[in-house]
Structure 1
Amino acid sequence: MAARKSAPLSPAPPPRPWNGRTELPTAIAMTRLRPISCLTLLLCLAGGLSHPAHPAEAAPGEFRDQLKAIGVVPLDPKPEFPAAKIKLGQALFFDPVLGGNRDVSCATCHHPLTATADGRSRAVGTQAYVDAENRKRLPVGFTLVKVDDNEQALTGFNMSGAAHPFTPRNSPDIFNRGDSAWTTMFWDSRVHRTEDGRIAV
């Protein structure tokens, strides 16, 4: 049996010019980069090991004393609620039937994705549309009426004598309002908890 002749090797392609220089073959270029890469990695590791991490518990006593002096205390542990109670709360919070006119839910103005506010510079409110020409927010079918300043329950502008004020402000956040430290709701605190624990409007 005759030995098979192998095809002659083709000569290597000539080096390609790059930026006026001649490129090295890839293998040679990688070989030269390897020591530099290893040295860079070692320097990064050495730098990280020279600064040990300081856990939060290691705060200086003086810093803790300063925090206590201005009334900063650790947060209470998160209360545990049954899953059914959480599900009911979510259903009620997103249900527009609970709104006064059944057209907005709590989440309309206090959405979790906008930090429990509405993400607007001014609250639109219930049954409202935006009058772009006059740059005012008006309820459908109503006009703004100035309320007597002596009537504390109806401050500012009111909707055609309705029993709730139209306040041209952004919706306040309601984050952590279940905490006992919060005793009021709304910017004007018209809903508040009395000292004996009752809710007053």
Structure 2
Amino acid sequence: MDPADFPDHPAPLVELGRLLFHDPILSGNRNIACATCHAADHGGGDGLSLGIGEGGAGTGPDRTAEGIEKRIPRNAPGLWNLGHRDVSVLFHDGRLEASDIFGNGFSSPAEEWLPGGLDSILAAQALFPMTARFEMAGSPTSGEVGGAVNDRIDAAWPILAARVSAVPDYFAMIRDAFPEVRGEAEVTAVHLANALAAFMTVQFESHDSPFDRHLRGEPGVLAPEAAEGMALFYGRAGCAACHSGTLLSDQGFHALGLPAFGPGRTRTFDPIPRDVGRMAESDRAEDAYRFRTPMLRNVALTAPYGHNGAFPTLEGIVRHHLDPAASLARWQPEDAALPPAPRIAAVDFAIRQDAREMARQAAALDIAPAPMTDAEVDALVAFLHALTGETARALPLAAPETVPSGLPPG
């Protein structure tokens, strides 16, 4: 992996994206920004097992949940290297893929209503949190955006584009980044999404870890324990069967048998609090409980781990991969980072009382036990730490102190 794997973006576009990323103007009720759940301090995530979107307050692990209707059903993933040219599928369940099935370049929840002109899959991804009720849009009765999304998924994007273009400083920046735009009415959500993607690409590009330097032939950059861990990773531990290639991900879907909790990503006809993963998008029974293989650079910065953030440490998720049954027996609800939410607390672990559902999830397992000593587990964890970029804790673009909307930046 090197800079040639990433598209170039002009500075005005990146700067527009930087401000939008931190501006609550893109949320239905102007109370949450992209950066609220994807913070630089937490490796592009939020440090929580399940995110707190609309109705929450604060940021990161200190974000409060008293006013929310529902926890976000899945862990907020880090954003490292999502601008890489080879990324072809996003979200834990892969509901966004590069595809021509709908004539707009992507298979997505918006189907044929996803607008054309998006520069990348990352730009397409940027549009969907804005339409998610419990993430940024708000409820149908809470405001214009939430109501529009309730009518049809694409109905909110013109509202948000008009909202942004009505801010004089934003419109001037849009004109600078997109010279073809002449009037406010010509600004679309595609312009906003392409700017957000440009910022995320530049901000979260990372390939200067000891592992990357080792691949480039620099001698002695891996500590002995990390080198031992790399040999296990690509050998007896079997990690590279899924965490493969340049991205350290096969971009496929696998069932890991993680501890179940949270509201689940429920479907209209399947309202119990479970998460069937890829099956919800593919409608294939064989995809049940399978989730996308995450990329691993800077993984040490993005705790907690798993599609639902079940494990607070790298050691925990490594040990789960090596022996899922023993890991499930050890896991306790207290391991989940879930800020108190009394109104919805009864839902948090309700699924664990459903013996049949727990049996179905336990039976859908794509990983086999791989016995390792404690020292070997430590070596694997050391290797995962060697995937941390030397500049990952000093991102190139600082969060703005103010944003053009005048709202408190996220």
The two structures have a TM-score, normalised by structure 2, of 0.21
Question: When you count strand as a share of all residues, which structure comes out higher?
Answer: 1
Which of 1 and 2 has greater Rg? 1
Bigger relative contact order, structure 1 or 2, given CA contacts below 8 A and separation 6+? Answer: 2
